């Protein structure tokens, strides 16, 4: 009887350990698949509530957009928000090329929409030479207004002209 009880305990222990190990493996696979899919994600359109923009300190041909939220439609027609791309609780950066930014500003000037500038950035901020706006919606679409690609790479969403 003792031998049967001991064998039963060993079998139950092995099964429960095996189940935990299998679940951990599945979780790691799901997480790495999610990360891999996100790294190779491109979008047809992205609409964001813009609150500011400034020159990147690393590269003056890159403009970083400050936003409250965004909604992007992927090539797979799935809808994504900033919550889908958070890393350590932070929203992803959105970087646009200077050429796309120039076209965006021209579109603002030519539109009937009222855009209110509420301040400017200086060298003491994260980005120097920038503008703050009263929040408004702006939409970028691939193959329109000099936008050639909208994609997510290395924790950043790029809206690019080539």
Q: Tell me how far apart the alpha carbons of residues 72 and 94 are, in angstroms, rounded to a whole number.
A: 12
- pTM (2 d.p.): 0.71
Average model confidence (pLDDT) across the chain: 78
pLDDT in the model for residue 128: 60
78-130 residue pLDDT tens: 999 999 988 788 899 999 999 999 888 888 888 888 888 888 866 565 556 78
The widest CA-to-CA distance across the chain, in whole angstroms, is 89
Q: Tell me how far apart the alpha carbons of residues 99 and 62 are, in angstroms, rounded to a whole number.
A: 9
Residue 72 has pLDDT above 50, yes or no: yes
Average pLDDT over residues 13-17: 46
* Residues 1-26 as b or e (16 or more Cβ within 10 Å = b): eeeeeeeeeeeeeeeeeeeeeeeeee
Find, among 3, 106, 113, 125, the residue nearest to 53 by Cα: 125
Q: Tell me how far apart the alpha carbons of residues 159 and 63 are, in angstroms, rounded to a whole number.
A: 10
Q: Tell me how far apart the alpha carbons of residues 124 and 126 are, in angstroms, rounded to a whole number.
A: 7
Average pLDDT over residues 29-50: 70
């Amino acid at each position: 009887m003792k031998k049967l009880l001991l064998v039963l305990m060993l079998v139950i222990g092995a099964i429960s350990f095996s189940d935990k190990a299998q679940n951990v493996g599945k979780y790691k696979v799901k997480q790495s698949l999610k990360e891999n899919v996100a790294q190779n994600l491109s979008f047809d359109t992205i609409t964001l509530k813009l609150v500011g923009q400034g020159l990147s300190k690393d590269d003056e041909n890159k403009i970083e957009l400050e936003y409250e939220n965004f909604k992007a439609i992927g090539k797979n027609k799935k809808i994504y928000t900033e919550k889908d791309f958070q890393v350590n609780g932070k929203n992803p950066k959105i970087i646009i090329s200077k050429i796309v930014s120039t076209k965006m500003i021209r579109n603002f000037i030519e539109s009937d929409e009222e855009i209110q500038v509420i301040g400017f950035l200086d060298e003491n901020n994260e980005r120097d030479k920038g503008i703050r706006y009263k929040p408004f919606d702006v939409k970028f679409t691939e193959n329109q207004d000099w936008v050639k690609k909208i994609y997510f790479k290395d924790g950043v969403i790029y809206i690019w002209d080539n």
